[in-house]
Amino acid sequence: AAIGVWDLNGDAAGETAKMLTDAGGKAIAVAADCADQAAIKDAAAKTRAAFGPITILVNNAGIAPFIPYLEIPEEVWDRVIRINLKGPHLCCREVIPDMLAARWGRIINITSSSTQSGSVNHAHYVASKGGLLGLTKALALEFAPTGITVNMVPPGFIDTPMLRAAGRATPLTDDQAQEIADRVVPMGRLAQPQEIARVALFLCSDAA
C-alpha cells in the first residue's frame, strides 16, 4: 500500500514517511490535526493527489492524560473527546465515500483494553475510547454490505513513549516498565508497537 502519514507533528510524520520510502515503499507526510475537519479534508486531498482514492484508514491518534475524575478540567475532557473520538469520526466521514466507490475498504480504529476493564484516573480517556468502540460497531454493521470492514484493535500495555511518560514527571526506566509488566500483564512483558501493527496489517488485508 502507498501510505499517507498524517500527524499533528509534521516532523515526526516526515520521519515515518522517510522510513517507509527508504525501505522501498511509497509514502507522503502531511501535518494535520485529526480533529480539525478542514485539516482532514486538506490531508485527504494531498493524499489523493499523490496516490489516488483512499481505501484503507487506520485511526491511531490519541492522548491519555492521567487525572483524577473530580479534578479533570472541562477543557481537558473536551480535548480528549475531540482527539480520541471526534477525530476518528471526521477521518471516517472523509474517506468512506472513496471506499464506497471502490466497493472495498478497510477501517481499523485503535481503541483500548480499558474500555472493558476501566482505568483509574482515566475516566475521560476510557469514555472517549468507549465511544470509539461503539462507533466501530455501528459502522461495521452499516457498511458491511458495501465491501467495507470496520474493526478495532484494543491494546493493553504497549511500550511506547506515551506509556513511558504517562502521568509521570520523568519517563519510566526499563526496570520500572518491567515492574509494571510483572504486576499487570499476564505474559510478564510489555507489548511492542510492531505487534499491534501486525494485527492492523491482517485486518487491512483480503484475508480479513
Task: Show which residues are catalytic.
Answer: 125
* CA 4 from centroid of its chain's CA atoms: 14
What is the C-alpha separation between 108 and 39, in angstroms, rounded?
Answer: 20
Strands (DSSP E) along 3-90, which ranges?
Answer: 3-7, 27-31, 56-59
Q: Is 23 helix (H, G, I), strand (E, B) or coil?
A: coil
DSSP class of residue 147?
Answer: T
* CA 159 from centroid of its chain's CA atoms: 15
CA distances for 163 relative to 16, 58, 90, 171, 187, angstroms: 20, 20, 26, 8, 18
